[in-house]
């Protein structure tokens, strides 16, 4: 489905942000990228759709090499990659429906989009996507009238309107409260399974990742230091990903909660809450 081989990214100061990253993503598989700030998670996602140009390596989506496409060919392939952003990236003054229809811009002539004359087929599908994310009662609201969770649902519906082959999701819960975060992650998981859509999610919340993704890739200093099942995330693995200091000092700082700070025990509590 998606194959990333020996991907590296460096800047003028020769610092390697990504260092020989390789992995494959299967149809319908949800991968969570975890790691400390600066580990290269966002850079990796942006390299996949070439918002950032990789320095070396290959990115192949359904047999098409994305790394060296011309601008026109790249625009065609980007239609197949849905992007969901941390800060929603909505046009605040436009309606919910108009924001969702913006996901079809790669498929309609410029004059149609300029005059908001979208084909009826696209409009009907947009209604379907809004229904799927639970926003049918908000179709005509302006985006700036919505809550954070509702805005993220619009972002999901907009990505689906592209009819993508791959979802790239950058910190979808960073601005949301815990309950809304679980609802958004559950929605993403359900949609990916229904449509057999592969997804790569950059996520800081380890417990959400353990609960809602199929596979976790841990990055540290641009390298993959873990690639496996969420059930394998024990204290030793988390120390490898994040560093010894964080996992040893946190329990000492809050002695009253030391019994609940192991990944396994918190994961059980989170599953029960979900």
The pLDDT of residue 110: 44
4 within a domain of the structure (yes/no): yes
Q: Which two tokens stand for residue 181?
A: 């975060």
Would you call 58 exposed, middle or buried from its count of C-beta atoms within 10 A (0-12, 13-18, 19+)?
Answer: middle
4 and 69 fall within a common domain: yes
Q: Dump pLDDT digits (tens) for 48-72.
A: 988 888 999 999 998 888 877 877 7
257 belongs to a structural domain? no
Looking at 116, 138, 161, the residue that finishes a domain is 161
Do 155 and 198 fall within a single domain?
Answer: no
Average pLDDT score over residue span 149-171: 91
End-to-end CA distance of the chain: 30
Q: Which residue among 118, 137, 161 closes a domain?
A: 161
Quote the pLDDT of residue 5: 95
- Among the candidates 106, 133, 161, a domain finishes at 161
Is 57 within the bounds of a domain?
A: yes
Residue 104 counted as domain residue: yes
Residues 6+ apart with CB under 8 A from 31: 23, 25, 198, 199, 200, 201, 213, 214, 215, 216, 217
- Asked if residue 12 belongs to a domain, the reply is yes
Give the structural domain span for 36. 1-80+164-233
Q: What is the pLDDT of residues 101-124, one digit of tens each?
A: 887 765 444 434 444 567 788 888
64 and 105 share a domain? no
Residue 149 lies in a domain: yes
- The string of DSSP letters for 93-141 reads TSBHHHHHHGGGGGGS-HHHHHTT---HHHHHHHHHHHHHTT-GGGTTS
Q: Number of folded domains in the chain?
A: 2
Query: Given this model, what pLDDT does residue 260 score?
Result: 42
Place of tokens 């979208």: 118
Q: What percent of the chain is modeled with pLDDT above 90?
A: 54
Residue 254 resides in a domain: no
User: In this structure, are 181 and 193 located in the same domain?
Assistant: yes
Task: Confirm whether 260 is domain-assigned.
Answer: no
180-234 pLDDT tens trace: 999 999 999 999 999 999 999 999 999 999 999 999 999 999 999 999 999 999 9
Strand partners for 8: 56
């Amino acid at each position: 489905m998606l194959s990333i081989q020996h991907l590296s990214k460096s800047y003028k100061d020769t610092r390697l942000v990504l260092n020989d990253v390789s992995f494959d993503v299967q149809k319908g598989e949800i991968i969570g990228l975890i790691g400390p700030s600066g580990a290269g998670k966002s850079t990796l996602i942006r390299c996949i759709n070439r918002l950032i140009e990789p320095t070396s390596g290959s990115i192949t989506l359904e047999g098409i090499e994305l790394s060296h496409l011309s601008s026109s060919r790249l625009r065609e392939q980007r239609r197949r990659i849905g992007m969901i952003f941390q800060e929603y990236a909505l046009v605040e003054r436009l309606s919910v429906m108009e924001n969702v229809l913006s996901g079809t811009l790669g498929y309609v002539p410029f004059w149609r989009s300029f005059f908001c004359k979208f084909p009826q087929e696209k409009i009907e599908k947009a209604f379907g996507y809004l229904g799927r994310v639970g926003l049918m009662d908000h179709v005509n609201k302006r985006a700036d009238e919505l809550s954070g969770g509702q805005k993220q649902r619009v972002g999901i519906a907009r990505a689906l309107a592209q009819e993508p082959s791959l979802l790239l999701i950058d910190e979808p819960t960073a601005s949301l409260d815990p309950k809304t975060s679980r609802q958004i992650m559950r929605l993403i998981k359900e949609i990916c399974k229904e449509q057999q859509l592969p997804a790569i999610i950059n996520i800081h919340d380890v417990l959400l990742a353990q609960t809602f993704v199929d596979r976790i890739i841990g990055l540290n200093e641009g390298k993959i230091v873990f690639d496996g099942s969420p059930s394998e995330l024990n204290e030793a693995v988390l120390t490898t990903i994040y560093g010894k200091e964080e996992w040893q000092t946190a329990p000492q700082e809050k002695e009253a909660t030391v019994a609940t700070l192991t990944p396994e025990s918190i994961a059980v509590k989170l599953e029960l809450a979900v």
